[in-house]
Amino acid sequence: MTNRPPSGGLPGDTPEQDLLELVREGAARDGVEFVHYRPRFVVPGTKLERRAERRVAFWLMVAALGGIGYLLVSIFWPWRYVSDHGPNFLFTPLLGICMALGLGGLGIAVIGFGKWLMPEEEVIQHRHDGRSDEFDRVTTVATVREAGASAGLRRRGLILGALGMSVLGLTGMAIAPLIGLFKRPGRQLFTTPWRNGVRLVRDDGTPIKPADMKPGSIQTVFPDVPGGSTAADAATMLIRLRPGAHVAIRKGREDYNVDDYFAYSKICTHAGCPVSLFEQQSNRLLCPCHQSQFDVLDSCRPIFGPASRSLPQLPIRVDEQGYFVAKSDYTEAVGPAFWERP
């Protein structure tokens, strides 16, 4: 024990000082050295000390009131949302204020207790360099080997075998979720619910006639099959161009459209977002996620942004009852690119 505190008396003066000496002794054996130690209040019970105590107590009371307030607000304050003005809209803010007072008060009290009342102290812990000394190394290895020997697993073959089996089983359990990754997806990425004769319907299931849409309009349509409006790959935009729009129809797609009606996949070929921002003046489609733009007059070719493939076009016709139907499925895969896509 070196470095006596300058303010401390001889060991054994008071029980507190005995305690302090014991703490120092213990710390010194762990390589921790007190370099500075000074009680905040050498003479206990001064006005200054009582004031510091009151400050801590004040913040603890604030914490208490905040907690009680939170409880009372959550039980008694009207919370149901009404669109008219009333006390209800204060429900969430009041909960927040009470929680801030409660947790904040407790925090300030804890920090204040440490800074205003606890003695000032500075300690240094010496750290050893390099590897442990030879004695520690030998005894540590001996401890591990002794534990293995006393378990006697070599002699207890039954337990060892069962343990091996359990490790095998548990490993299987951990791997099971990954099995799905190894399943071949088949053709499902290339096909959608659209088929020849499947009607184009709105989200509420009503079919669409060519007279239903004005020039310069867009309508999101789904295949009229069970689950069609929730199929992730089926959403399609039916666009009616304004008169005079000069369309460059791609070779082989001469009969995909019905007059000025064109149907394109709504799923962006970049990251699969819904492309639905239709600018009827410039005949562009804009994807809100990454600002890819597609030129509707040119087979929805991407003209700006990260998308690199045109939106697939759905071949459409009008059936005997005068409603729009698909002629076939999409002739290429919809949505973002993937490895197997040709």
Partner 1 sequence: MTDRPVRRKGGRFRRSSGLVVVGVALGLISVGYALASPGRGGTSAVAAPDDAAQGQRLYNQSCISCHGRNLQGVPSRGPSLVGVGAAAVDFQVSTGRMPAPYQAAQIPRKPPVFDEAQARQLAAYVQSIGGGPEIPTGSLSDGDLARGGRLFRLNCASCHNFVGEGGALSSGKYAPPLRKATRTQVYEAMLTGPQSMPVFGDNQLTPQEKQDIIAYVESLKHERDPGGLAIGRIGPVPEGLVVWLLGIGLVLIATLWIGVKA
Residue type (1 letter), 204: D
Q: How far apart are CA 265 and CA 311, in angstroms?
A: 6
Q: How far is the CB of 218 from partner 1 (least distance, A)?
A: 5
Tell me: does residue 338 bind partner 1 (CB under 8 A): no
332 neighbors 340 (Cβ within 8 angstroms)? no
Q: How far is the CB of 290 from partner 1 (least distance, A)?
A: 12
| Candidate residues 64, 103, 213, 297; the one interacting with partner 1 per rule CB under 8 A | 213
Residue 72 phi/psi, 5-degree rounding, is -65, -45
In the chain the beta strands, taken as DSSP E runs, fall at 32-38, 120-125, 200-201, 217-223, 236-240, 261-265, 277-279, 284-286, 293-295, 301-304, 316-318, 324-326
Of 67 and 216, nearer to partner 1 (C-beta) is 216
DSSP 80-100: ---SS-SGGGGHHHHHHHHHH
Of 23 and 277, nearer to partner 1 (C-beta) is 277
| Candidate residues 8, 11, 69, 274; the one interacting with partner 1 per rule CB under 8 A | 274
| Cα–Cα nearest to 192, from 262, 255, 257, 267 | 267
| Candidate residues 139, 291, 308, 331; the one interacting with partner 1 per rule CB under 8 A | 291
Distances (CA, A) of 215 to 36, 67, 123, 207: 85, 62, 82, 18
Q: How far apart are CA 136 and CA 138, in angstroms?
A: 6
Binding mask 50-89 for partner 1 (x = CB under 8 A): ---------------------------------x-x---x
Q: How far is the CB of 109 from partner 1 (least distance, A)?
A: 15
Per CB under 8 A, the segment of 62-70, 127-135, 205-213, 310-318 that binds partner 1 is 205-213
312 neighbors 264 (Cβ within 8 angstroms)? yes
Binding mask 307-336 for partner 1 (x = CB under 8 A): ------------------------------
Q: How far is the CB of 286 from partner 1 (least distance, A)?
A: 5
Binding mask 94-123 for partner 1 (x = CB under 8 A): -----------------x---x--------
Tell me: does residue 3 bind partner 1 (CB under 8 A): no
Number of residues located near partner 1, criterion CB under 8 A: 33
273 neighbors 289 (Cβ within 8 angstroms)? yes
Q: How far is the CB of 216 from partner 1 (least distance, A)?
A: 5
Tell me: does residue 230 bind partner 1 (CB under 8 A): no
Q: Residue holding tokens 């003066």?
A: 13
For partner 1, the binding residues (CB under 8 A) are 83, 85, 89, 92-93, 111, 115, 203, 209, 211-220, 274, 276-282, 284, 286, 288, 291, 293, 304
